[in-house]
Structure 1
Amino acid sequence: MPLLLSKHTRIFIAGHRGMIGSAFVRHFTAAGFSQLILRGHEELELTDKAAVAAFFAEQRPQVVILAAGKVGGIVENLTYPADFITRNLEIQTNVIHSAHHNGVERLLFFASSCMYPRECPQPMAETALLSGKPEVTSMAYAMAKLAGVQMCLAYNQQYGEQRFIPVIPNSVYGPNDNFDPQTGHVLSALINRFHRAVQAADPITTLWGSGRPRREFLHAADLTAACHLLLDADLGAVELPINIGSGYDLPISELAQLIARILGYQGDISWDTERPDGTLRKLLDSSRIQALGWQPGIALEAGIRQTYGSFLESGHA
């Protein structure tokens, strides 16, 4: 049976200060939900098993949005692979185990498109998971996320209930993103790079890689809408995990040109081809979520303009 969320459903948003977590705070607040449970890192350390267990026993959330974890771009993934795999495994294990032990009705786990094989038929269907090796530049992160997906499916299988929902969004962006060029993902990092280039009137901006890889981008507000649908759905006949993508991808070179135009950059763009590209294409097959009635609503250019506005308002500029 569907959960049928009410305005008084107790919802724990783990990672509520991050981009995805804060999008859920905005979404549920705007929808009138009054029982959001929020804890910062200084209040609840999710890698501490005992602290997580005590928190769940005391708060008894009905729904968990597991948006906490260590994320980053190619540079961070290559530099800190041990941190990526260890921290994410610890958080996932602690939260999912405590959610089961305390009778949580629904848990959303956010996986990643980087789990798919580097060489994968496009668009990538959920059935392609584990059919080949992920891209080496994000291997540690991908393996942690694969473990989280399998943990959700294992609990569902062993206890006979579709309570834990692993979703696979593709390149989420939006307000409160990480705009650091060294640690952020490509879209947010490019916003920062071109903003600085405009300020400095740089005649040329050099970007990492060849610009040829294609990427699919999903606005955080579209992700929250899709996830709200899943939380309220009868999942008995829904096969998990479930992709959530916009259905449209473009080369990084075109993304860079689009962002440069939106921000008013007049200089030239060059590419440092000595730097790695990562996977050449990662377009998701989102037919499972579309069959439930969801479609993305925010076009890429409009989403970038909104995200840039939040970048300026947040004091990053």
Structure 2
Amino acid sequence: MALNRRAVFTGLAVAGSGGLSPRAGASAGDDGEPSPSAPPGADPRRLARDESFWGRVAAQFRVSPEFTNLENGYYGIMPLPVLREYERQSRRLNEENSHLLRGAYKTVEYPRARARVAEVAGVAPDEVALTRCGTEALQNLIAGYNRLRPGDAVMYCRLDYHSAIYAMNWLKGRRGVDVVAIDLPEPHTEQAILDHYARQLRNHPTVELLLLTHMNNRTGLVSPVAALVDLARRRSVDVIVDACHSFGQLDFRLPDLGADFVACCLHKWTHAPLDTGFLYIRSERLGDVDPCFGDETYPADDIRSRVHSGTTVGEVLE
């Protein structure tokens, strides 16, 4: 049976505590509280008005009574089962220290956590590398993309994520490319967006790399990424997709986007611990992204060489 995201990220106390896997049999209900889950085939409109269901969801979280938090996209806090597993794994890490990190974690538990993330994403484990966050994933993909030459151009929308924009701007000095920044047309209809990108790519024929945001962090706009990727591919333009917000909110697998390079965050809407994300590179395209800072911990044909975070959640070095 295919894993769903709730099953994975309930136990993904994971990368936030060293990528450690949950104890055998752990589930959302192991803390003695009912795990809220919608019955199969439930009408989403009726479920949205079901106060008893949402009451069970709310009971999974402990929040401060001192204020009302309206910003959940920055960090989606851990529900109680995840928090308790995270605390258990933190204690375990402190007790077992490097014996754990250089042993079972490195050889068994990290690969298992990565494989579970890959299964949910619908891709192969060797196409996924865990990162500290979606920002790191975006930066590594943008900075490492090595097919740019002086005189080429890269393109982004001014509504894209600010850290990704900074990295795209940085390519001007790093790769000697031109940087094209565009705005989206109003109204933001699917056809208007498609027509606008087609026009912009036609007007800027030297563009070789395009940054696309699946779900915007400021407005919530969902762009027709799959169609845009196809549009760009027909012009031989590569695309890096920012799926940091969409991965936890929309029902899709990474192959549905059609992109070869995707960045995702796990500590937003999936409620995994802080310091968790991943990047995806389609296996045939791995050579088009350089190892991070000349990493030699892993061979060049291992996607983990595209992330070098030191001794932290996602990576444990030799």
- Name the structure, 1 or 2, with higher relative contact order (CA <8 Å, separation 6+): 2
- Give the TM-score of the pair, scaled to structure 2: 0.37
User: Which protein has the larger Cα radius of gyration, Structure 1 or Structure 2?
Assistant: 2
- Give the TM-score of the pair, scaled to structure 1: 0.37
